[in-house]
Structure 1
Amino acid sequence: MAFGKGHHLHLIDGSAFIFRAYHALPPLTRKSDGLPVGAVSGFCNMLQKYVEGNTGSDAATHVAVVFDKGSHTFRNDLYDQYKANRDEMPEDLRPQIPLTRAATEAFNIACKELEGFEADDIIATLSCRAREAGGRVTIVSSDKDLMQLVGDGVEMLDPMKNRRIDRDGVFEKFGVWPDRVVDVQALAGDSVDNVPGAPGIGIKTAALLINEYGSLEALLDRAEEIKQPKRRQTLVEKRDQIEMSKRLVQLDCDMALDFTLDDLEIRDPDPERLLDFLNEMEFRTITRRVAEKMGVEAPAVADAPAPDTDDTALPQPEAIPFDHATYEKVGTAEELQVWIDRIRALGFVSVDTETTSLDEMRAELVGVSLSVEAGRACYIPLAHRPEGTGDLFGSEALAEGQMPLDRALALLKPVLEDPAILKIAHNMKYDLKVLGRYGIDVAPVEDTMLMSYALNAGIHNHGMDELSERYLGHVPIAIKTLIGSGKAQRTFDRVPLEDAVRYAAEDADITLRLWQTFRPQLPAHHVTTVYETLERPLIGVLARMERKGVQVDRDTLSRMSGAFAQKMAQLEEEIHSLAGREFNVGSPKQLGEILFDEMSLTLPDGKMPKRGKTGAYSTGADILEDMATIHDLPRRILDWRQISKLKSTYTDALQDHINPETGRVHTSYSIAGANTGRLASTDPNLQNIPIRTEEGRRIREAFVAPEGRVLVSLDYSQIELRILAHVAGIDALKEAFAEGQDIHAATASEMFNVPLAEMTPEIRRQAKAINFGVIYGISGFGLARNLRIPREEAQGFIDRYFERFPGIRTYMDDTVRFARDTGYVETLFGRRINTPEINAKGPTAGFARRAAINAPIQGTAADVIRRAMIRMEDATRDLPASMLLQVHDELLFEVDEGAADELIARARDVMEEAPLPAVDLSVRLLVEGGKGGSWAAAH
């Protein structure tokens, strides 16, 4: 039957799908050969979601995925600068483009492209023909350039927002109806596609002009009537440019195509062909999901989180569809008791809290959700406000149908604290801190975020929404759809109960299913020990540290801010003197003009830095650090920027982070942030306070102990160098550590043939920079920046270092070779750090190699201090002490003054013996301790 009335054509913008998939997902490589496939994976997931959703009376009868082919089109012949400022396609995306075509064909969907034409023109031609034939068209894209096609029988569907765009939607976007969109675009131009338009006229002004004059042609013909002189002059003088711009943005609705609408009739995918393609790509999760949908057996696929085990044989959660209608609202004690009885019978429960803030120290509990089996979940609302009350001051009324908070928590407390019942959450630390403020000490716990982290560090992120899409094939409700964003954002207690139940219960349901997915994979991939000894026990330790917080003296910070302001003013005078005139030191544009136009300075290689899109020179830290090796002015600019950052990021900002209830600063640690196992501190970040400069070290003076107590700092001495000496078998370094020598002086003596007795601070400083730099795979270029010396001299230092310590080069080469063969590296404790880009080409190759070299060293050091923290509470439980902060290789405590020495002795023992019995290092760890009234005095 020929395409006509009653038929519905879907036209999918293939390029938009590809780039959305590429930018939305982390890098992924095929394990068998290192081929980048992240965008292909996301593209396949979107196609599968489309196929599954194409049902009902409004389903498509015809469909095509339309792609661009080649970069040169008739528009480039019309205007050679068309799309000239677009960035080059990322290197790791280029080989994936043909695979997305193959994926489309594997799904048995028509795949269309035409040399010399953009996908938009093919979509335009097909849309016009389908409309003329009496059918309907849905363009699956959010591309504004396609909005000119919307009208009777043609609409758009934004796949990201799942929102349909009709004539009213176009008017909302452009201020004109679809038939005048081209006129507005011709005037406003397009910086993305380099369409020039009329300079100085934006979308809003263009819409006003077109609505007033009726069309672009009429406007240009009557341009002399425009009252504003500048606008009138632009329209008269730039008429040819504006008319050309219209030809650039006008889509071609009359292309010669070598296929017809009938060729686009929808077809069911062939199971064997589709599964073979997914299997070839090694997409484990989607292969299983597609096979289930088709009712066939899934082939064994190699895409497992760990390359030595195929988890397709592992037990998987039952494939029960997500159905929000099955979720329950629990509003009475009797209803809650039914759930409690279920939990006690099963011995486990998935838990999630809804609150008014992401700051656990200030968040108010709004509700609790529970799940006991896939598809079975509930939400217990506790503090939702009635609709219509908004944020009225003093409005304390609660919506009907909720339990009193005290009554609900009294019923939940025995279950959540019962040691015989396992509590499962995603990012459990947040829920522990929130519930802890209400007197509930949740234990024992499981965390699906940390399970994913133990299994897949370096492969993808570990947020619940991403894991749900990746492993469960389900896109969760987005929180922004409930609370909004920006200035209009509201707190969760203002969300209507019906919406809250769907969202909150879904979170608990997803978490339970992720637990069912990940739990059996831990032993199969040999990461149970990592999860059980390094991840899970740390949750409670960090939660207690974060809740305790550290006292910060606001007056000290304020005085420092004033001192920094004076220092900045002094530096500005020096900078102006070096520059020969005054200028805004904080303006990169003005600085670039001073350095490169007025002073005619260059980079060390004699070249000029690149200019950005605005025409301004690049004056980033990398440029200035490079120039600082030969010029004074860049050095002073760097000094000024450092002081400015200390002031804005710490001495000013820390005052805002002091909790009004506790008078302390409460940082939050991310356990699953860094692939190597290092903890990350946020809100505020207390790990990046610089200690290499006097000004940076002074900031620690503001961290103080209350009266009668002191701060105690214990710090591993050169732990990463000690681990390097062990794993690389560097006898010279081992001997130096064993004899208690100054390792940097010893290294300098080895490298430069200088006796220890004649060592100068400058030679030691250079050796120290090389010692630490080598661990991170530093280049001569990077060392030159750090030492502010010529690049050739820096490279000579590195070459000499490898000559003196050849075992380090052997370790590096062996580690990279292992990573390339297996796709991962490991710490001494078995933490697996995946290296998906290790076999990539192009700019990422060097970074991936350096990361692979560093990861076992940095990761082992991180594991050591994690083990120490986990053991510390038991070792110091009888002391009046609290662990407050972890900063890389350092732990900070607060303790009664009389117990400080005992704490130092015990904590030092715990830290130095932390690797045992799992790892027996051939180099003894050394921990240095100190105490004082402030962090600066203790360190």
Structure 2
Amino acid sequence: MGDSFGKGHHLHLIDGSAYIFRAYHALPPLTRKSDGLPVGAVAGFCNMLWKYVSDDHGSHAPTHAAVIFDHSAKTFRNEIYSNYKANRPEPPEDLRPQFPLTREATRAFNIACIETEGYEADDIIAAYACRARDAGGRVTIISSDKDLMQLVGDGVEMLDPIKGKPIGPDEVFEKFGVGPDRVTDIQALAGDSIDNVPGAPGIGIKTAATLIQEYGDLETLLARAEEIKQPKRRQTLIDFADQIRISKRLVTLDCDTPLDVALEALEVRDAEAETLLGFLSEMEFRTLTARVAERLGAEAPAVKSAPPAEAPPAPDLPAIDTTIYETVTTTEMLAKWIADIHDTGHVAIDTETTSLDEMQAELVGISLATAPGRACYIPVGHVEGGGDLFAGTARVDGQLTSDEVIAALKPALEDDSVLKILHNAKYDWKILARHGIRMAPLADTMLMSYALNAGSHNHGMDEVAERYLGHRCIPIKDLIGTGKAQVNFAQVPIDRAAPYAAEDAEVTLRLWQHFAPMLPPAGVTTVYETLERPMIPVLAEMEMAGIRIDGDTLKRMSNAFSQKMAGLEDEIHGLAGHKFNIGSPKQLGEILFDTMGLTGGAKGKTGAYSTSAQVLEDLAAEGHDLPARVLDWRQVSKLKSTYTDALPTYVHPDSGRVHTSYSIAGAQTGRLASTEPNLQNIPVRTEEGRRIREAFVAAPGHRLVSLDYSQIELRILAHIADIPALKQAFKDGIDIHAMTASQMFGVPVEGMDPYVRRQAKAINFGVIYGISGFGLARNLRIPREEAQAFINTYFERFPEIRAYMDATIAGAKRDGFVRTLFGRRINTPEINASGPGAGGARRAAINAPIQGTAADIIRRAMIRMPKAIAGQPARMLLQVHDELVFEVEEGAEDALIAVARQVMEGAADPAVHLSVPLVVDAGIGQNWAEAH
């Protein structure tokens, strides 16, 4: 035990329970690879503790510290009020086994770990804070919990661990409208729905603050309640005085809580490397283990985690050494590397550029690797620091020119006998294509990782290098910095750029050596070779082609949207009775639930009401006009900001076209996603959304052609679930939604009420996504019971769908993944979890084979398309879900449609023989809206 605690000492009290729940909700689920133990909250907790012990606290550095935990749900407060915290839900099942592990983690960090049976963590914190303050020391409570704010005062402050901001008397007054000494009075009046503290009905924080400011304290207020002029408030305080006093006892922290560990025993101690690293490696936290080992100057223990897909034994290779790479500065040195490429028959490549925008990035250098430990960097565009790049700024001496390097490398990079290995090959392919090189054949380690482990983790180089090679790459921020001080890669000195760039090439080579043998045993070789790798040049060519947009059309739309928003604002303000900021969720929530008194208001952690789209849709479904108009306003506002205002900023200065970028390894189902700009999410169900497509236009003398799969996911469902009625309907070309309505509701197809057909359509598509009765009720704006009855009838009529769902969920739980008809493996890591996310995991597993198969089919069509339309005056520009958009010379539209339709409708063959036909609708127009 150390010296007695007193003046000059500083105690840090960490709210451990808050750390745990913040870690659990902030991070995706994580399980220990060796045995499936949930450890996501432990991982987040350890990262937060590591940040805490690593930070330089300056003048606030602690001499003593402890992490305080809740021991159990039942405390002395339950004896005061039996319903205290009665509404608190049980912790999620996957969190429960992590509670004891967080205590182990705290002890592994060599920080005092304290909990006391029958007392809450807040009471223990209060007792330590009071005793430390009384002894003459300083106290910092690391938490943002409002219940602890009553302790703030002389010698005691709080620190928000996320924002890093101190919480003193001023911040307490800002939150409660009173000083810390009156916080419990406010809480006693306002109550707390989370902890089930009853308070005074109808009195919130603001009203409570007004009352306490006027009367001084709670007891004075209750004694003089008869003087209050407002009748309802007066009667409430009189009728509920005893309840309010009980509430104050519930919210007042107990500074006399017994302390099992003396203040003096909380002295700060350095972590012991062996203990801490042993715990972290046991948890299989590879990244944090390496980081801690580096900081402590210790050797990181082996982490026994295995990657999700079964891997063969890794070759016994030396560690990556970034000090041995060569910087190529002469044609003779470059010639030796090119000879080495031809000798080995493969080369890993990476480019360094001035931008992430492949269409405008300038080439700064190229790195090559032909074997582990053999890599180089070829600088071509490094400039002296400062100034505008490539605008008169002097090039660093001793570099070959980009023209020299490109000319020398072109034969090898286009040689069919040399395999080019890259990570995220599409980026480098486009960079080199702009310099006249069309690389082939290709291997892409990002796509290998994606084919093996879609849904298990991200596939960026840094993450997979650390996960599979146990190697931490040099962070780019170490070279270019961050924020306002960030420089361009061209300004990085060559001697610092070379190790970083060449390391990327060697890491890529080693990942290829690691992943390539894993593909066959995982059963994904065909997926990688036929659905992933061939997409690289197809998408690259589409992105480079781009599409024209009409700026004048967008400007007119933007003006029209502004006018519509202004009209909606006037209408909303009229319904509310006064003006307010419609874009402020806080103000909108207060209007809906405080001023208008609508039901369904729920406050989040910030204390503000939720005004999410779902909340507003539910209110609108109940017939309330204001939330319905706000939804309209939000939709128009988003269209304006995201598209009509933003799209012109994406026009390339040279091509005059918009060049989106597609992510091949984004969605785990194989669906493509587009960014910069995102053209996948343009709404098509609303008139305003459809109008956005009018701004996408064909070049002069050309037309746009759209080909779109008709109801492809329903067709795939009919095949996979083997539903005779649906399969026959598709073969006969019957209106599937009308047929479903007829089967379900017993009405004839001829002369069917459109509303009945819409109901069947909503169910048809909803079932694919595992829609619930609640969700269908909201979509159709009908009672929940009626919606659930529709779903029940649907499953009675098509029992094969229920059988498919049950079998798919069972398989996913057994295997940990599902597959598309083409063999794409989609991992389902959360399928065996319980709690709020379990339903979503099951719905995703049900939908994945259907949506994934549809994605595979359109990929197969896209891969075949360039060869099929070669020689035609047409090119493929866009892919949006089930649709392909082409630009074709006027007069050649019908010929293109005939060829493209044949490719798309036959895309599943010969790999999969669908028992239903694929049908493609086609359209032609001067703009995308007309074509679609």
Instruction: Give me the TM-score of the superposition, normalised by structure 1.
Output: 0.76
> 1:186 is aligned with what amino acid?
E
Q: Say which SS state the counterpart of residue 898 (structure 1) adopts.
A: coil
Which residue, out of 510, 528, 531, partners 1:531? 528
Is 1:554 the counterpart of 2:554? The answer is: no
Is 1:354 the counterpart of 2:346? The answer is: no
Match of 1:503 in 2: 500
List runs of 5+ in structure 1 lacking aligned partners: 3-10, 54-63, 81-85, 126-142, 148-180, 204-233, 239-244, 603-607
> 2:661 is aligned with what amino acid?
S
Is 1:27 the counterpart of 2:25? The answer is: no
Q: Distance in 2 between matches of 1:189 and 1:935?
A: 51
Q: Pick closer, same or farther for the CA change 1:833–1:735 going to 2, 3 Å.
A: same
Which residue, out of 332, 335, 338, partners 1:334? 332
Q: Distance in 2 between matches of 1:531 and 1:820?
A: 25
Map 1:654-673 → 2, pairs under 5 A: 654-673=647-666
Q: Distance in 2 between matches of 1:649 and 1:283?
A: 39
Q: Pick closer, same or farther for the CA change 1:933–1:191 going to 2, 3 Å.
A: closer
Match of 2:435 in 1: 438
> 1:113 is aligned with what amino acid?
C
Is 1:862 the counterpart of 2:858? The answer is: no
Is 1:621 the counterpart of 2:574? The answer is: no
Is 1:788 the counterpart of 2:781? The answer is: yes
Is 1:915 the counterpart of 2:908? The answer is: yes
Q: Distance in 2 between matches of 1:683 and 1:590?
A: 32
Q: Distance in 2 between matches of 1:351 and 1:593?
A: 57
Which residue, out of 473, 487, 494, partners 2:470? 473
Q: Distance in 1 between matches of 2:159 and 2:37?
A: 41
**How far has the Cα of 1:196 moved from its partner?**
5.5
Q: Distance in 2 between matches of 1:262 and 1:574?
A: 63
2:419 and 2:443 in contact (8 A); partners too: yes
**How far has the Cα of 1:339 moved from its partner?**
1.7
1:41 and 1:283 in contact (8 A); partners too: no
Q: Say which SS state the counterpart of residue 918 (structure 1) adopts.
A: coil
Q: Say which SS state the counterpart of residue 325 (structure 1) adopts.
A: coil
1:305 and 1:456 in contact (8 A); partners too: yes
Is 1:689 the counterpart of 2:682? The answer is: yes
> 1:753 is aligned with what amino acid?
G
Q: Deviation string for 1:375-411 (max 9, x for gaps)?
A: 3322111111113x34489442111221112111111
Q: Distance in 1 between matches of 2:671 and 2:452?
A: 16
Q: Pick closer, same or farther for the CA change 1:597–1:48 going to 2, 3 Å.
A: closer
Q: Distance in 1 between matches of 2:159 and 2:301?
A: 53
Q: Distance in 2 between matches of 1:497 and 1:31?
A: 40
Map 1:564-603 → 2, pairs under 5 A: 564-602=561-599
> 2:897 is aligned with what amino acid?
I
Q: Deviation string for 1:523-552 (max 9, x for gaps)?
A: 121110110000000011000000001111
Q: Distance in 1 between matches of 2:637 and 2:767?
A: 30
1:27 and 1:459 in contact (8 A); partners too: no
Q: Say which SS state the counterpart of residue 659 (structure 1) adopts.
A: coil
Q: Say which SS state the counterpart of residue 323 (structure 2) adopts.
A: helix
1:284 and 1:304 in contact (8 A); partners too: no
Q: Say which SS state the counterpart of residue 757 (structure 1) adopts.
A: coil
Q: Distance in 2 between matches of 1:263 and 1:89?
A: 32
Q: Distance in 2 between matches of 1:834 and 1:624?
A: 34
Match of 2:100 in 1: 98
Which residue, out of 636, 653, 667, partners 1:643? 636
> 2:696 is aligned with what amino acid?
F
> 2:638 is aligned with what amino acid?
K
Which residue, out of 199, 224, 230, partners 2:170? 199
Q: Distance in 1 between matches of 2:390 and 2:409?
A: 31
> 2:728 is aligned with what amino acid?
E
2:664 and 2:673 in contact (8 A); partners too: yes
Is 1:36 the counterpart of 2:24? The answer is: no
> 1:370 is aligned with what amino acid?
L
Which residue, out of 456, 481, 486, partners 1:459? 456
Which residue, out of 422, 426, 441, partners 1:429? 426
**How far has the Cα of 1:672 moved from its partner?**
0.7
RMSD of the TM alignment (CA)?
4.7
Q: Distance in 2 between matches of 1:72 and 1:298?
A: 33
Q: Pick closer, same or farther for the CA change 1:69–1:200 going to 2, 3 Å.
A: closer
**How far has the Cα of 1:737 moved from its partner?**
0.9
Match of 2:367 in 1: 369
Match of 1:130 in 2: none
Q: Distance in 1 between matches of 2:718 and 2:397?
A: 66
Q: Deviation string for 1:43-68 (max 9, x for gaps)?
A: 9999999xxx9xxxxxxxxxx99865
Q: Pick closer, same or farther for the CA change 1:440–1:746 going to 2, 3 Å.
A: same
> 1:526 is aligned with what amino acid?
G
Q: Pick closer, same or farther for the CA change 1:194–1:881 going to 2, 3 Å.
A: closer
Match of 1:217 in 2: none
2:446 and 2:459 in contact (8 A); partners too: yes
1:673 and 1:679 in contact (8 A); partners too: yes
Q: Distance in 1 between matches of 2:845 and 2:277?
A: 41
> 1:305 is aligned with what amino acid?
P
Q: Say which SS state the counterpart of residue 734 (structure 1) adopts.
A: helix
Q: Distance in 1 between matches of 2:644 and 2:618?
A: 28
Is 1:450 the counterpart of 2:447? The answer is: yes
List runs of 5+ in structure 2 lacking aligned partners: 3-11, 55-63, 82-87, 129-138, 144-151, 175-212, 218-251
Match of 2:870 in 1: 877
Is 1:70 the counterpart of 2:70? The answer is: yes
Q: Distance in 2 between matches of 1:19 and 1:476?
A: 31
Match of 2:318 in 1: 320
**How far has the Cα of 1:789 moved from its partner?**
2.8
Match of 1:409 in 2: 406
Is 1:733 the counterpart of 2:726? The answer is: yes
Which residue, out of 621, 627, 631, partners 2:623? 631
1:315 and 1:520 in contact (8 A); partners too: no
User: What percent of counterpart residues are identical?
Assistant: 61
1:36 and 1:95 in contact (8 A); partners too: yes
1:65 and 1:104 in contact (8 A); partners too: no
**How far has the Cα of 1:628 moved from its partner?**
1.3
Is 1:380 the counterpart of 2:389? The answer is: no
Q: Say which SS state the counterpart of residue 169 (structure 2) adopts.
A: coil
1:190 and 1:197 in contact (8 A); partners too: no
Q: Say which SS state the counterpart of residue 795 (structure 2) adopts.
A: helix
Is 1:892 the counterpart of 2:895? The answer is: no
**How far has the Cα of 1:871 moved from its partner?**
0.7
Q: Distance in 2 between matches of 1:852 and 1:379?
A: 44
Q: Pick closer, same or farther for the CA change 1:111–1:519 going to 2, 3 Å.
A: farther
Q: Distance in 2 between matches of 1:397 and 1:715?
A: 52
> 1:36 is aligned with what amino acid?
P
**How far has the Cα of 1:621 moved from its partner?**
0.4
1:458 and 1:836 in contact (8 A); partners too: yes
**How far has the Cα of 1:754 moved from its partner?**
1.7
Q: Say which SS state the counterpart of residue 665 (structure 1) adopts.
A: coil
Deviates more, 1:792-801 or 1:875-884: 792-801
Q: Say which SS state the counterpart of residue 887 (structure 2) adopts.
A: strand
**How far has the Cα of 1:878 moved from its partner?**
1.6
Q: Pick closer, same or farther for the CA change 1:183–1:877 going to 2, 3 Å.
A: farther
Q: Pick closer, same or farther for the CA change 1:191–1:760 going to 2, 3 Å.
A: same
Q: Pick closer, same or farther for the CA change 1:21–1:571 going to 2, 3 Å.
A: closer
Deviates more, 1:448-457 or 1:560-569: 560-569
Q: Distance in 1 between matches of 2:21 and 2:325?
A: 35
**How far has the Cα of 1:34 moved from its partner?**
5.0
Match of 1:163 in 2: none
Q: Deviation string for 1:272-327 (max 9, x for gaps)?
A: x999x67xx8999999xx9xx9999999x8x4523xxx43xx24244322322112
Map 1:649-798 → 2, pairs under 5 A: 649-798=642-791
Q: Pick closer, same or farther for the CA change 1:28–1:34 going to 2, 3 Å.
A: same
Q: Deviation string for 1:313-370 (max 9, x for gaps)?
A: x242443223221122222222222222222111111111111111111111111111
Q: Distance in 2 between matches of 1:452 and 1:190?
A: 35
Instruction: Give me the TM-score of the superposition, normalised by structure 2.
Output: 0.77
